[in-house]
């Protein structure tokens, strides 16, 4: 479980996070959405201990070694091959590459023929698949993903979304992710959070959306345009 309690962060006089509270349950997919500048990436960096919060508390039910993460910007090195990248990052995590898993996802991602190709030759979609393969090979208990399908073509977005849902259901991997794509949010999120102006101003799930006949896009726009301030 990930528990975030009263987390605050400011840069100079700018208050980026203003008392964020939520829980992400084990074995579920929790999706955080919000406009640009809402504080999503700052929150993820704090959860991963890459940045210190000013106030508040974060608890997570596993250690950092068991967390796989994908940032909004790719971290794989473009001047070496995918094979060299994967060897490097699994070594950093003190793990061995499981060849069965590697071959399975090289086939699934259509990357087998490009395994020994430098990433400078990869498309954006191929690089993002490479990032996800990096995380999958770490065999994490918990995945934290910042905009994993951003700037990808529709087909690749669907492929990645279906993969994440499969990893969650078959391997019981807990996933916490951010997304701007509200259609994606509705399809993948067991729990949905909306962050605006540094606060969680709405949370719900598929059942609430269906039972209360809530249009997520309409709800999101109401919040972002000032109809709801938490």
What are 149-177's pLDDT values in tens digits?
A: 887 888 888 988 999 999 999 999 999 99
- Average pLDDT in the chain: 92
Does 64 score more than 90 pLDDT? no
The residues, any chain, with a CB within 8 Å of residue 74's CB and separated by 6 or more, are 127, 128, 130, 131
**Comparing 139-143, 163-167, 172-176, 180-184, which segment has the lowest mean pLDDT?**
180-184
pLDDT range class, residue 228, cuts 50, 70, 90? low
Cα–Cα separations (whole angstroms), residue 208 to 33, 99, 130: 17, 42, 35
Q: What is the pTM of this model?
A: 0.91
CA distance 49 to 47: 5
Does 227 score more than 60 pLDDT? no
45-54: pLDDT as tens digits = 999 999 999 9
pLDDT range class, residue 98, cuts 50, 70, 90? very high
Length of the chain: 230
Q: What is the pLDDT of residue 230?
A: 43
Span 3-27, average pLDDT: 96
The residues, any chain, with a CB within 8 Å of residue 81's CB and separated by 6 or more, are 115, 116, 117, 118, 119
Does 120 score more than 90 pLDDT? yes
CA distance 95 to 161: 26
Cα–Cα separations (whole angstroms), residue 80 to 91, 118, 210: 16, 5, 47
Span 52-74, average pLDDT: 92
The residues, any chain, with a CB within 8 Å of residue 66's CB and separated by 6 or more, are 140, 141, 142
The residues, any chain, with a CB within 8 Å of residue 24's CB and separated by 6 or more, are 1, 2, 3, 30, 174, 176, 191
Phi first, then psi: give them for residue 23, nearest 5 degrees: -130, 140
Span 91-104, average pLDDT: 91
Q: What is the pLDDT of residue 93?
A: 86
Does 146 score more than 70 pLDDT? yes
CA distance 162 to 184: 10
- Domains and their CATH numbers in the chain: 1-62+142-230 (3.40.50.300), 77-140 (no CATH)
Of 85, 87, 82, nearest to 117 by C-alpha is 82
pLDDT range class, residue 136, cuts 50, 70, 90? very high
Span 70-82, average pLDDT: 95
Percentage of the residues of the chain whose pLDDT score is greater than 90: 74
Q: What is the pLDDT of residue 62?
A: 87
Of 171, 151, 144, 191, nearest to 29 by C-alpha is 191
Does 194 score more than 80 pLDDT? yes
């Amino acid at each position: 479980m990930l528990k975030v309690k009263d987390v605050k962060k400011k840069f100079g006089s700018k208050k980026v996070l203003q008392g964020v509270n939520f829980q992400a349950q084990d074995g579920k997919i929790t999706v955080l959405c919000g406009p640009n500048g809402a504080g999503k990436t700052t929150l993820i960096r704090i959860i991963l201990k890459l940045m210190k919060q000013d106030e508040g508390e974060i608890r997570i039910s596993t250690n950092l070694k068991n967390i796989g993460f994908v940032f909004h910007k790719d971290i794989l090195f473009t001047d070496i091959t995918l094979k060299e990248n994967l060897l490097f990052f699994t070594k950093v995590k003190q793990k061995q590459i499981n060849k069965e898993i590697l071959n399975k996802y090289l086939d699934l991602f259509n990357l087998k023929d490009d395994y020994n190709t430098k990433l400078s030759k990869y498309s954006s979609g191929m690089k993002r698949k490479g990032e996800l393969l990096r995380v999958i090979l770490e065999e994490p208990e918990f995945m934290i993903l910042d905009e994993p399908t951003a700037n990808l073509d529709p087909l690749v977005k669907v492929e990645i979304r279906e993969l994440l849902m499969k990893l969650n259901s078959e391997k019981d991997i807990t996933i916490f992710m951010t997304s701007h794509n509200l259609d994606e949010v509705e399809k993948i999120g067991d729990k949905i959070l909306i962050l605006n102006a540094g606060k969680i101003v709405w949370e719900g799930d598929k059942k609430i959306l269906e039972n209360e006949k809530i249009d997520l896009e309409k709800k999101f726009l109401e919040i972002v345009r000032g109809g709801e301030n938490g």
